[in-house]
């Protein structure tokens, strides 16, 4: 595999991998991202991974593009010697019932699957967090089974409720906060995936592996209550 | 030394926010950068009052606020020239101004340009989110409740050691047809020659659907026929996206962090400040330069 490095403006460098949505390619993205992060290169401000690219912000007063791109090329050459980065595995409870499953019937119409099959298919596999984007903390998860593939809504919702779990194309995602949005909604998680809190503002990060677990409306309300009271056992969502 | 300056907003102005260095470190989590649109003017305002260059300050857009000021402090205005009056006495831009007592500060309309900056010496004591008190474009009211100025908002600024009066000469230069310098973007080479010719040869006007997240430009690229599918990837302030209909969108300070439209070019940092001072209806053209040239004016 080769990478292609190019400038994106005068303070960002873009690394392109093979342009495909693919778990192995994304693994390479995450590996290189971790490697660059570990180097603590002076002047590098942030490293932001996407599906098959990395954008790296830098301050040209400390480091310029030619030097930084050389550094990255060298790190890429040593990739066989990278230490394997441990992957976090999280299981997120999702209620796929009314009033949360806003578009289950719509999805049923598009895919020809019965609602219970849609749910079963959605929870059957684990997903990779390819990137966070669109909204602070919005995880793009993939790859969604092809049978669930739906286009975005022709008329986007003006306000998709926070924590809604949606699908679009071969992706699934979670709205961290209320927002306009065109994804079809299959359910809702009681877990805040985005909080303003200092210690853990975001529940997920790129590279995580996510599984969904179907819960009843009663369970949902129970967990919501525990979150509110601060008694929820967060350890149970991590493997 | 324990004096302070209180600001009470009788009128908020059109869009007045508090901005500091922003949240660039959290881009991997999908958090917009935020921060001042005209970075050079903001840094200058803070320098004039002896603050660190990326300390919180007020970004004032098109029509300014009316503020009841009480106490003691040092303030400065930079950026686009606005009519600014302290009681009925006109204030100058680009210099530090000492205040004591009670005053009414009226920042009227922008005479030219779009945004001015008001710095106040000292500690603003604002609550921050992800290391920044910049107004958050999403959930701003919850996360940074004091950073979007509303009628009745108050700020209490504890003075720092005052600096000797500072001023700079920074005349406002009007250019009839501004040129915005760009670097080729990641998908530049995927555009056909005719579309590139239009991009580099055309005049573009900022549409009314423009804000701190980005400027939409009128006159789409007519020769843009075969949209390239781009797998969602990073975008930054200055990135110029081309929508499927050929419309250009220049992303700015509050833009989202990823996008799926082809990125034809990126506006260089220095000229993002220039764009920040243009209004809907203003026109400009693009010029392609090299990265080396961009660093020379960084």
pLDDT, one tens digit per residue, over A155-192 is 889 999 999 999 999 999 999 989 999 999 999 999 99
Q: Are residues A55 and B233, on separate chains, in Cβ contact within 8 Å?
A: yes
pLDDT at B174: 84
Confidence of residue A148 (pLDDT cuts 50, 70, 90): very high
Q: Are residues B28 and A8, on separate chains, in Cβ contact within 8 Å?
A: no
Confidence of residue A198 (pLDDT cuts 50, 70, 90): low
Residue A122 φ then ψ, to 5°:
-65, -35
d(CA B125, CA B147): 11
Evaluate whether B145 touches B203 at the Cβ level (below 8 Å): no
Nearest by CB to B258, from A64, A65, A134: name it.
Answer: A134
Task: Indicate which of A135, A136, A152, A198 best probes the interface with B, i.e. most B CBs within 10 Å of its own CB.
Answer: A136
Does the model's ipTM exceed the 0.85 cut? Answer: yes
Chain B, nearest residue to A63 by Cα: B295
Q: Are residues B28 and A9, on separate chains, in Cβ contact within 8 Å?
A: no
pTM over 0.80: yes
d(CA B74, CA B43): 16
d(CA B158, CA B154): 13
Q: How many CA atoms lie within 13 A of B110 on its CB side?
A: 21
Tokens (6 digits) for B168: 């700079």
Give percent of chain A above pLDDT 70: 98
Among B165, B73, B71, B64, smallest CA distance to B119 is for: B73
Task: Say which residue the tokens 């603050």 belong to.
Answer: B51
Evaluate whether B246 touches B231 at the Cβ level (below 8 Å): no
Dihedral sign for Cα A2, A209, A189, B142, please: negative
Residue A159 φ then ψ, to 5°:
-140, 100
Taking CA B39 as the corner, what is the angle to CA B67 and CA A37, rounded to the nearest 5 degrees?
125
Nearest by CB to B29, from A53, A64, A202: name it.
Answer: A202
Q: Are residues A55 and B232, on separate chains, in Cβ contact within 8 Å?
A: no
Chain B, nearest residue to A196 by Cα: B143
pLDDT of A199 > 70? The answer is: no
Instruction: State whether residue A10 sits within 8 Å of chain B by CB.
Output: yes
Strands (E) located in chain B: 4-11, 15-19, 57-61, 66-79, 82-86, 89-90, 96-110, 115-120, 154-158, 179-184, 204-210, 214-217, 233-234, 239-242, 248-251, 258-259, 263-267, 283-288
Nearest by CB to B233, from A10, A20, A53: name it.
Answer: A53
Report, in this order, helix, strand and coil percent for chain B, each rounded to 5: 15, 40, 45
pLDDT at B230: 87
pLDDT at B2: 61
pLDDT at B258: 95
DSSP assignment, residue B279? Answer: -
Chain A, nearest residue to B254 by Cα: A135
Strands (E) located in chain A: 4-7, 12-16, 44-49, 53-58, 89-95, 127-132, 139-142, 157-160, 164-168, 171-174, 179-181, 184-188, 209-215
Tokens (6 digits) for A112: 């020809």
Task: Indicate which of A5, A7, A10 best probes the interface with B, i.e. most B CBs within 10 Å of its own CB.
Answer: A10
Instruction: State whether residue A52 sits within 8 Å of chain B by CB.
Output: yes
**Measured torsion, CA atoms of residues B219, B221, B227, B232, in degrees rounded to the nearest 10:** -60
pLDDT at B137: 75
Q: Distance from first CA to last CA of chain B, Å, rounded?
A: 38
What pLDDT tens digit does each residue of chain B (298 aa) get?
Answer: 468 999 999 999 999 999 999 999 999 999 999 999 999 999 999 999 999 999 999 999 999 999 999 999 999 999 999 999 999 999 999 999 999 999 999 999 999 999 999 999 999 999 888 899 999 876 656 678 889 999 999 999 999 887 899 999 999 988 888 999 999 999 999 999 999 999 999 999 999 999 999 999 998 999 887 666 789 999 999 999 999 889 999 999 999 999 989 999 999 999 999 999 999 999 999 999 999 999 999 9
Over residues A131-143, mean pLDDT: 94
Contacts of A49 (CB under 8 A, 6+ apart): A26, A29, A30, A33, A131, A206, A207, B28
Q: Collect all residues of chain A within an 8 Å Cβ-Cβ radius of residue B257.
A: 48, 132-133
Quick one: which H or E segment has residue A30? helix A23-39
Q: Collect all residues of chain A within an 8 Å Cβ-Cβ radius of residue B295.
A: 10, 60, 64
d(CA B18, CA B10): 17
Confidence of residue A84 (pLDDT cuts 50, 70, 90): confident
pLDDT at B38: 98
pLDDT of A197 > 70? The answer is: no
């Amino acid at each position: 595999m080769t990478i292609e490095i190019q400038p994106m403006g005068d303070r960002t460098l873009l690394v392109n991998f093979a342009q495909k949505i693919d778990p192995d390619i994304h693994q390479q993205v995450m590996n290189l991202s971790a490697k660059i992060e570990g180097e603590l290169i002076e002047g590098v401000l942030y490293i932001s991974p996407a599906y098959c690219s990395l954008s790296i912000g830098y301050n040209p007063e400390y480091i310029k593009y030619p030097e930084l791109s050389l550094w990255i090329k060298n790190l890429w050459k040593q990739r066989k010697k990278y230490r394997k980065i441990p992957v976090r595995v999280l299981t997120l409870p999702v209620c796929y019932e009314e009033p949360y499953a806003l578009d289950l019937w719509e999805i049923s119409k598009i895919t020809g699957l019965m609602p219970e099959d849609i749910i079963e298919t959605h929870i059957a596999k684990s997903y990779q967090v390819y990137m966070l984007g669109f909204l602070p903390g919005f995880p793009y998860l993939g790859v969604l089974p092809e049978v669930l593939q739906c286009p975005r809504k022709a008329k986007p919702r003006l306000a998709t409720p926070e924590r809604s779990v949606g699908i679009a194309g071969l992706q699934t995602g979670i709205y961290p906060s209320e927002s306009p949005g065109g994804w079809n909604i299959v359910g809702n998680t009681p877990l805040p995936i985005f909080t303003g809190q200092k210690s853990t503002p975001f529940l997920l990060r790129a590279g995580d592996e996510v599984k969904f677990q179907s819960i009843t409306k009663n369970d949902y309300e129970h967990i919501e209550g525990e979150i509110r009271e601060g008694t929820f056992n967060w350890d149970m969502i991590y493997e | 030394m324990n004096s302070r300056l209180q600001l009470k907003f009788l009128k908020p102005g059109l869009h007045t926010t508090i901005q500091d260095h922003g949240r660039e470190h959290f881009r991997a989590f999908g958090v917009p950068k935020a921060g001042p649109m005209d970075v050079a003017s903001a840094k200058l305002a803070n320098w004039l009052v002896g603050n660190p260059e990326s300390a919180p300050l007020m970004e004032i857009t098109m029509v300014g606020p009316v503020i009841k000021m009480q106490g003691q402090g040092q303030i400065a205005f930079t950026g686009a020239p606005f009519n600014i009056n302290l009681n009925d006495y006109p204030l100058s831009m680009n210099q530090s101004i000492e205040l004591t007592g009670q005053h009414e500060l009226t920042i009227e309309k922008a005479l030219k340009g779009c945004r001015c900056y008001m710095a106040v010496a000292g500690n603003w004591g604002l609550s921050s989110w992800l290391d920044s008190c910049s107004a958050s474009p999403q959930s701003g009211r919850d996360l940074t409740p004091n950073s979007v100025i509303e009628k009745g908002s108050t700020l209490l600024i504890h003075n720092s050691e005052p600096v000797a009066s500072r001023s700079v000469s920074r005349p406002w230069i009007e250019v009839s047809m501004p040129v915005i310098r760009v670097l080729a973007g990641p998908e530049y080479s995927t555009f056909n020659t005719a579309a590139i010719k239009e991009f580099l040869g055309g005049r573009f006007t900022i549409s009314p659907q423009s804000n701190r997240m980005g400027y939409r430009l009128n006159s789409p690229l007519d020769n843009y026929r075969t949209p390239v599918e781009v797998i969602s990837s990073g975008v930054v302030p200055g990135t110029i996206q081309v929508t499927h209909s050929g419309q250009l969108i220049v992303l700015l300070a509050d833009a989202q962090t990823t996008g799926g439209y082809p990125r034809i070019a990126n506006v260089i940092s220095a000229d993002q400040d220039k764009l920040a001072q243009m209004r809907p209806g203003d026109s400009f053209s693009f010029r392609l330069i090299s990265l080396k040239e961009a660093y020379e004016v960084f």
